[in-house]
Structures are given as C-alpha cells and as structure tokens.
C-alpha cells in the first residue's frame, strides 16, 4: 500500500524556483550522527541539522512518550534543501512490517531558521509516533500533533488558514476525519483542523492522555467509545461542538482538567473570530509549505457542516 500524500505545491512551480536558486545553495556536504546521515548545502549546515536532529529526537520522544528511543539499526538519511526563498516543507517515509519500523528517509526544505525550528521538529515527531505506535495513525492525529511542535510563526499560519476553511465550508466532520487513514484530495484543511483539535485536547488533558486516547481508539477504531473514555464526550459530534466553540472564541488557553499545568510550548494567540457553528506498507508523512496555501474565504456556504442555520442533511442535525 502506497500511502504517500500528494504534494500540495505545483511541481512545475517548485522546479522553476529551484532553477533561480544559486547552485551553491543546492550543493551537498555530508554529516553523520548516530541516527542521521545529513546531506546539506554546506558542511556547517549539515552538522547543524544533524546535531539538531539528534537533540530533537531525544527531547520529543521524552516529551510525547516519556522515554528516549533506542538508536536505529540504520541511520535515517536527511536530504536538506536550504535557501531563504524556499517555503518550509518536508517528507518522511518509512516501512511498517510486523511491528517493526525501518527504511527511514527524510527530506526537508526551507530557510535555515524554518528547517531547524519547524520542519525538523515536525518530521522527527513523525518518527517518534511511528516508533511508539508501530502502525499508521489517523491522519488528523499524526499531522495535528506534529504541527504543534513547529515554530509559533508556522502555527499561526495554520490557525489563520483554519478560519478561512471553516468560513468557506471546507471543514471536515469529525465522523469522517477520525476515519481517515489516507490523505484527502484537499489536504490543507486536514492539517489545519487536525492541529487545532490536537491543541484543544492537549490544552485540556495533556500529552499523556492524548497518546493514551489515540492508542485506545486505534485498537478497535471505535472513536466514540475512546472519546467518551478519555475526554468524557458522549460522541464525536459532542467533541466537535466543544472544539468549534473553543475556536469561535479565539482558542484561549484552557485550565487543565486534570489540574496539571500545560507542558506544550505552543500557544494559540488569535483573537475571537466569527465562525458559524461548527501492515507491511510503505508509509509517508509530510509537512506542506504553508506559504503556498490560499484558503478560500467569504460567506459560509449554505448547507456547510459549519453552518448551524441550515441543519438539513448536515452533521449539526
């Protein structure tokens, strides 16, 4: 099964951009660490990416799973394209086979700052989740969690895009989003909505509960049962309504329901907004350059799943 997500940016446009970038920016130098082999435009940059990747691999594993990951039998290649004019993006592929994960391969691109503070954390979180769960995750949870570790500037783009998608009627009903095992044709709404829901759940009960919830739901794909067990919502619609209310009032910081302070470094900073009520396989996970996305805007479509005024045939009935 090939689960590669279609790229949201035009290949021709990317190729044209690369032709404009100085050849020196695309030249490669190598650097090896215990778990990564980096190819980058300069030896200094290759070393910086490799050492940062090792630090992130350790920190993110502890942050999400409570323990470090053992070294991989074979290092993960990282191919880095770094230039100020490149949008931030990346892709990581690997193989699941009988409970094992291997054949890592990672590509990152963007400015030096975004590669180090957003793309690498995002892609390495994919590897942490793959090693922890040892099976493909629901798309919303995988991409949503990986987006929470990006730089605040990249998260802000996702938050802005989310509002555009919801107003345009491009929101995804939770009943459909929770069942997604492949990337949809319109992948950007999934990224934005998955991140927002993940942040909402993390704000409420933290990473430990989130990870337990995902593991529980994947056991039998009975997400309504898992939602009730871990977040005390009767069903996915009730969770969606609670999340939508949180988005409508500006995604404020929430008091942890378990009495523990929020450990995540991410912080929604938007103002209140007006949103209508709202197995032996090659696997690939990606970070899409957000700069290329132009979410639709304007009036809410009649009959949209986020249009509470028209409940006929919608999830809001």
pLDDT at 239: 98
Q: Going edge to edge, which strands form the sheet with 29-32?
A: 29-32, 36-40, 76-82, 100-110, 89-97, 281-287
Q: Which string of b and e fits 136-157 if b means at least 16 CB within 10 Å?
A: bbbbbbbbbbbbbbbbeebbeb
Contact 133, 69 (CB under 8 A): no
User: Would you call 66 exposed, middle or buried from its count of C-beta atoms within 10 A (0-12, 13-18, 19+)?
Assistant: exposed
Query: What are the structure tokens assigned to 142, written together?
Result: 């995988």
Q: Which two tokens stand for residue 263?
A: 């450990």
pLDDT in tens, the chain (317 residues): 334 444 344 444 444 554 445 454 555 789 999 999 999 999 999 999 999 999 999 999 999 999 999 999 999 999 999 999 999 999 999 999 999 999 999 999 999 999 999 999 999 999 999 999 999 999 999 999 999 999 999 999 999 999 999 999 999 999 999 999 889 999 999 999 999 999 999 999 999 999 999 999 999 999 999 999 999 999 999 999 999 999 999 999 998 887 665 444 444 444 443 333 333 445 556 665 543 333 333 332 222 233 333 332 222 22
Task: Please tell me the pTM assigned to this model.
Answer: 0.78
Instruction: Return the bridge partners of 141, or none.
Output: none
- Looking at residue 292, what DSSP letter applies? G
Contact 128, 65 (CB under 8 A): yes
Q: Check if CATH label 1.10.10 holds for domain 11-278+282-292.
A: no
Please name the residue ranges forming H helices in the chain: 11-20, 23-26, 43-65, 112-114, 120-133, 139-147, 152-167, 174-177, 187-220, 223-231, 236-248
Q: Which residues of 183-218 are buried (b: 16+ CB within 10 A; e: fewer)?
A: beeebbbbbbbbbbbbbbbbbbbbbebbbebbebbb
């Amino acid at each position: 099964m090939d689960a590669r997500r279609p790229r949201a940016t035009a290949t021709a446009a990317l190729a044209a951009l690369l032709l404009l970038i100085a050849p020196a920016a695309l030249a490669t130098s190598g650097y090896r660490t215990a778990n990564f082999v980096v190819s980058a435009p300069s030896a200094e940059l290759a070393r910086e990416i490799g050492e940062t990747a090792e630090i992130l691999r350790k920190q993110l594993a502890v942050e999400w799973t409570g323990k470090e990951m053992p070294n991989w039998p074979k290092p993960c290649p990282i191919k880095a394209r770094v230039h100020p004019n490149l949008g931030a993006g990346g892709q990581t592929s690997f193989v699941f086979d009988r409970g094992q994960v291997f054949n890592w391969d990672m590509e990152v691109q963007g400015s030096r700052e975004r590669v180090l503070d957003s793309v690498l954390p995002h892609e390495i979180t994919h590897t942490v989740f793959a090693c922890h769960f040892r099976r493909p995750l629901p798309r919303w949870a995988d991409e949503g969690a990986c987006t929470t570790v990006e730089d605040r500037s990249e998260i802000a783009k996702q938050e802005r895009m989310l509002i555009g998608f919801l107003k345009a009627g491009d929101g995804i009903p939770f009943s459909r989003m929770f069942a997604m095992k492949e990337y949809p044709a319109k992948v950007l709404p999934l990224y934005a909505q998955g991140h927002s829901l993940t942040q909402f759940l993390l704000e409420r009960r933290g990473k430990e509960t989130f990870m337990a919830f995902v593991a529980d739901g994947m056991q039998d794909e009975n997400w309504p049962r898992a939602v009730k067990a871990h977040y005390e919502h009767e069903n996915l619609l009730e969770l969606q309504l609670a999340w939508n209310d949180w988005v409508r009032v500006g995604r404020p910081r929430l008091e942890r329901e378990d009495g523990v302070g929020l450990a995540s470094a991410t912080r929604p900073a938007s103002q209140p907004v007006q949103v209508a009520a709202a197995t032996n396989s090659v696997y690939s996970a990606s970070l899409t350059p957000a700069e290329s996305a132009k979410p639709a805007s304007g009036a809410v479509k009649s009959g949209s799943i986020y249009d509470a005024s028209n409940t006929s045939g919608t999830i809001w009935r």
